[in-house]
Structure formats: structure tokens, C-alpha cells
Amino acid sequence: MQYLENFGKYFLMLKEVFRKPTKWPIMKTLILKDIDDLIYGSLGIIIFISFFIGGVVAIQTALNIDSPLIPKYLVGFTTRQSVILEFAPTFCSIIMAGKVGSYITSSIGTMRVTEQIDALEVMGVNSLNYLVFPKIIALLLYPFVIAISMYLGILGGWLAAVMGEYTTSADFIKGLQLDFKPFHVLYAFAKTMAFAFILATIPSFYGYYMKGGALEVGKASTTSFVWTSVVIIIVNYLLTQMLLG
């Protein structure tokens, strides 16, 4: 029953987020701060992971092509498909659930523990709009992070394949261009927008409605990471079935 209660409370929270908006000068400051914290602050880990995972995908693909009848350009093709379709949008989002999600839950949870949220309510401020809406708007820029992840994943694969002499640069690039479908990029960005909304709202839910003290803030962060990851995986399956099935 607790799951059903949280499910309903989550959608009631979303309704409140878009009601009684905060004044624009204040909201603009909050949005810019969240862009800095959630987007700009996450670029380092995304760049690092994307580059090396792209290289690992390329190397593993090359090592598993044992037959001389299989063309070497499939290394580039497989790297492109893996990075664009799954790694960049989905795997990076799960990583972001740990970094960004935990930050959102702990920051809002700390405000709940220190009664700052109660103070906002006493002043007549819609605390959900004040706290959650800027994060939703900031994470609208999340597709740009995923675009960088796609580029660096493919670049890492190219460098690993060429420098490791698993294939030539010409063959790798031929594989990148082979049977390219622009819809796959649109599909990846569609998933990314859905994941961005999940990353902004589910951690906020667990931070806003947590009860207890400092210890419970840590527990809420862990719970939010688990459920954010679970929902991302379920939504990934559903969107893949609808858009590519």
C-alpha cells in the first residue's frame, strides 16, 4: 500500500509544482543556479565516462570479430549504435541518478529537516514550485549533455580502435556512416527528455516528503537513487517498444 500511496502522492506533487508560480526575477536566479549545479557540474563525469566506455565498446567489438569474413568496419557501426541508442541516453542517466538525484534529494531533504520548507510555506511561497520547477527547467538542457556524451563516446571508440590497430580510421568511419538513421538520434533525445523529467521530479519527491533527521536524509537519497534508476529502466523499455518496436 505504501507504493500506491507514494504513486498517488507523486502525481499530486506534480500538480502543485505548476501551480502558483514564483515571481520571475527569483525563479530566474534559481534556474541559473540549478543549471550550474545539475548540468555544468555533471559535465566532467559524463565526459570522462563517455570517452572511455566508447573505447571499451570498440575494443570488445574488435576482439570478438574472429572471422576474416566479417568486415572490420562493423567496429565503427557497432560503436555508433551502442553509444547512440543505449549507452549515452540510458547508462549516463543512471549515472546521473546517482550524482544529480542524490544531490537533489539531500539538498531538499536538508531544507525539510532544518524547517526551511516550513518557513517558505509560512511566507506564502509555493515551496514545490520554488524548489522543483527550477530543476525541471534546468534539466531541459540535459539533451545537450547527452549529445556531448554521444560525440565523445564515438570519439573514444575511434581513438581506441585506431591506436590499438584493431581497424583503420577509414574502416571505422565507413562503419559510422553505414546505414545511419537520423531517427535513432531523435529516439535517443526523446528518451533523454523523459529521463530528464524523471531525474528532476523523483529525487525531489523523496527529498520533499522525507521525515526524520540527518540520518533519514541519507536513507532518502539512497531510496531516490534506487527508484529513479528503476523508473528510468522501465520507461526506457516502454519508449523503445513504442518508438522502435
Average pLDDT, the chain: 91
pLDDT tens by residue, 183-209: 999 999 999 999 999 999 999 999 999
Give dist(CA 57, CA 62) in Å, integer: 9
Residue of 210 and 231 predicted with greater confidence: 231
Per-residue pLDDT, 6: 84
Q: What is the mean pLDDT of residues 76-81?
A: 93
Are 61 and 160 a contacting pair, CB within 8 Å? no
Greatest distance between any 2 Cα atoms in the chain: 73
Prediction pTM value: 0.92
Q: What is the mean pLDDT of residues 94-119?
A: 92
Distances (CA, A) of 49 to 81, 106, 114, 146, 192: 17, 24, 35, 12, 17
Per-residue pLDDT, 213: 79
Q: What is the mean pLDDT of residues 72-85?
A: 92
- pLDDT over 80 (residue 68): no
- pLDDT over 70 (residue 155): yes
Pick from 53-62, 63-72, 204-213, 229-238: least confident: 63-72
- pLDDT over 90 (residue 223): yes
- pLDDT over 80 (residue 145): yes
- pLDDT over 70 (residue 1): no
Q: What is the mean pLDDT of residues 82-87?
A: 93
Q: For the purposes of burial, counting CB atoms within 10 Å of the CB of 188, is it exposed (0-12), middle (13-18) or buried (19 or more)?
A: buried
